[in-house]
Chain A
Amino acid sequence: MSGSKRTDYRSVAMPRALWYHLYPGMWEVFFRSLGLSVVVSAKTDRATVERAALISEPEHCLPLKLHDAHLHGVVGAADVVFIPRVLSTLTEHIACPKLGSLPDCAVAQFGDETPILTIDIDENKRSVHRSMLELGSELGFRRNATRAAAAAALSAMKTERNGLKTCIDREDDYFLILAHPYILHDAYVSAPVFGKLDAMNVKWLFPDYGCESIESGPIKWDACGIMHDALLRLDAGRCVGVIHLSAFNCGCDSIVMEVFRGLLWEKNIPYMTLVIDEHEGRAGLDTRLEAFVDSIGWRNTLDNAV
């Protein structure tokens, strides 16, 4: 992708967006263990969102727009910018097609200013561990060094994931939150929702996106498949409602939301979708969440009365 020899890279930059959240904490540790210095763009804030509106394709989904803005922020901050081509993060499933062209788009947009480093992530062909090994050898590192770095990266990711709030006291009534990992983990996008839920004293958890495999179902997109799997196994006695946080213009969600709606209707679990876009309209969000949670409270009281 660039003229210079790859082993010359001393630092690597990456956008804190999209694929970065699919493997939380992993890439940083991997590169750092290889002795490269790592620059990650700052967390999403208002300025990021504003930049996204300026430079990104208007018809992109919100995460992709944010990715463009984050990417713009790190171009030139290091010798090379890393953007993997995520084709699948789960065996027998595929990633959203938009992720497949990311490195090429990055080259098209910023290729004149920085070299782009990429590697295919396709769990159907090889594990992400093997992908890291290949990346290491492509960069010219010794096998042993790469191995150690990959192992450290994987365990760092595990710790990071365990720290997430995927499990709470299972006895409680809880809400299941469905959202793509890059929505969950981007505090700017999701914090208002979680803040509101916590303020209402509502317990919530989300599906385990770190799972190794799931039973093959009708939905073949990886994250959406995991959500669907979680819904199938949902216990109507304990889960009182499902809240789906979707990004504006998300193509995958536009399809699976309908499927989930049908499924949950059969299970008799209330389902709400919240579409998050780049405009600040948090008041509406609060009201809708309140109304949803209240209505469920009412439902339970009525049920108990009968």
Chain B
Amino acid sequence: MKKKLKRLAFEPWGNYAIALAASVQCLNVEPWTRTATTPEVLELGVAASPDSACLSFKACTGHFLEAAREGVEYGVMVNSVGTCRLRYYRMLQQQLLEERGFKLFIFGLGYDGIKPPLIRHFDPRPGPFLKCCVRARAKVLAVDAIEKYAWHTRARELHRGDTTRVLNECLGDLERADSLLDIRRVKESIPVRFKKIAVKKDAIPLKIGLLGEATVLRNRFLNHNIEEILGGLGAEVFNFFLLGEEMKNIFGIGMWGRHSRWTLKRLAAPYLKSLVGGHALDSVANAIRCARGGYDGVVHVCPTGCMPEISVRPILRKISTDMDLPVLECSFDEHTSHLGVITRLEAFVDILNARRTRGNQTWKNRVISV
């Protein structure tokens, strides 16, 4: 009889969950995750978390609580060495779980010593482990590619919902793809599939950059599906949190890439001369990039009270006036009303459209294609 595999829960991190699931297979555990938080899970998290913790923490805690209820044995959580609260999530979540009598043990992922504790514990053989990593990376890149097509197409689609359907199909195939070859096949099919969607041929949709905190940017439930709302309003979005690019930063390779820390630092230097922490530097740098690249506007997305992101808001405002770039500040917490978000986004899109009719030409010199 086949031994029942132990399960490993990790944070619901948007569509990247698919890729992360692939990476833990070699550890001989079954991944337990979702691509987005659910209302019930968030409720669990809110009830257990300190009041003033941020939305990302609450959602993630709820996720682990739910996993623990279902008897999942292990969890994994990034162990950042940064300045923001993320650094203490694991410790606190473990405490909250123990206080409630749950056995789930959360591993910290990374950066203490050469081998993360997770790897030390499961001790996979190096061969399969490497293979898994390669596969996971391929999947992350594939997710990025799929999403980019979706952002592009959704703003132009003739029939509402076509893009989302194709997106989900692609993601489903990617989830099932086991070998590198399969992943490559899925990846190659992406452009073909999206090209089949009927679009308004010569539309030049608004282009809106999404900047801010990674979890909320990527978790559809937490950000009230901002990508789809904007897409539905005929705006092409670009979500600046791309895990494929982020991975390079984490491993310190690719100094020269468009999204490397080094490039971002140089870009942000006139306005921000320190790293701050979290993705604050990225937000500032990407706002400047959007302004230069002819974006019609940006939405700054973060959990209410997010320490690094909120602390750079005055700077974003300054960039907005200096470079004539409309910025919409959207903070999310568990009380954020869905209708409120829609209304604000609609108003923002209206304003951007009005700017164009009033003769704003910035979109004409749109050069960016990331």
Contact = CB atoms under 8 A, between A and B. Distances in A.
A255 B306 CA distance: 13
Contact of B280 (A101, A120, A249, A275): A101
B50 A100 contact: no
Interface residues of B, number: 39
A251 B315 CA distance: 20
B312 A105 contact: yes
A253 B52 contact: yes
Contacts of B280: 97, 101
The interface centre, meaning the residue of A85, A107, A251 with most chain B CB atoms within 10 A of its CB, is A251
A104 B315 contact: yes
B311 A97 contact: yes
Contacts of A168: none
A255 B308 CA distance: 15
B331 A254 contact: no
Nearest to A248: B52
A96 B88 CA distance: 13
A252 B307 CA distance: 9
Interface in A95-112: 95-98, 100-101, 103-105, 107-109, 111
Contact of B311 (A105, A219, A220, A257): A105
Contacts of A262: 95, 99
Contacts of A250: 52
A57 B307 contact: no
Contact of A98 (B53, B272, B307): B307
B271 A104 contact: yes
Given A249-B52, A259-B88, A100 B274 contact: yes
Nearest to A57: B313
A108 B315 contact: yes
Interface in B300-319: 304-308, 310-315, 317-318
A59 B304 contact: yes
Q: Is the interface of A mostly helix, strand, loop or mixed?
A: helix
B329 to A, nearest CB: 9
Contact of A101 (B52, B305, B315): B315
Interface in A234-274: 249-259, 262
Contact of B84 (A57, A60, A97): A97
Contacts of B315: 101, 104-105, 108
Interface in B306-358: 306-308, 310-315, 317-318, 331
A108 B307 contact: no
Category for how many chain A residues contact B: 35 or more
A105 B99 CA distance: 41
A133 interface: no
B331 A59 contact: yes
Nearest to B83: A97
B44 interface: no
A257 B83 CA distance: 17
Interface in B237-287: 271-278, 280
Contacts of A62: none
B367 interface: no
A87 interface: yes
A108 B318 contact: yes
Contact of B278 (A64, A97, A219): A97
A117 interface: no
A4 B308 CA distance: 32
Given A85-B274, A101-B272, A104-B273, A220 B87 contact: yes
Contacts of A95: 83
B311 A101 contact: yes
B85 interface: yes
A136 B307 CA distance: 32
B92 interface: yes
Nearest to A120: B274
A108 B274 contact: no
Interface centre among A57, A85, A219, A250 (most CB of B within 10 A): A57
A153 interface: no
A255 B88 contact: yes
Contacts of B331: 59
A100 B305 contact: no
Contacts of B53: 254-255
A57 B91 contact: no
Nearest to A64: B311
A93 B111 CA distance: 17
A187 to B, nearest CB: 25
Nearest to B96: A258
B50 A257 contact: yes
A94 interface: yes
A104 B272 contact: yes
A218 interface: yes
A254 B278 contact: no
Given A97-B277, A101-B315, A254 B85 contact: yes
A94 B53 CA distance: 20
Contacts of A100: 83, 274-277, 311
Given A59-B310, A108-B315, A252 B274 contact: no
A286 B17 CA distance: 49
A65 to B, nearest CB: 11
Contacts of A94: 83
A71 B137 CA distance: 47
A97 B80 CA distance: 14
Contacts of B92: 255, 258-259
Interface in A30-86: 57, 59-60, 64, 85
Interface of A: 57, 59-60, 64, 85, 87, 94-98, 100-101, 103-105, 107-109, 111, 120, 218-220, 249-259, 262, 275
Interface of B: 50-54, 82-85, 87-88, 91-92, 95-96, 99, 271-278, 280, 304-308, 310-315, 317-318, 331
6 contacts: A100-B83, A109-B314, A249-B52, A250-B52, A251-B85, A254-B53
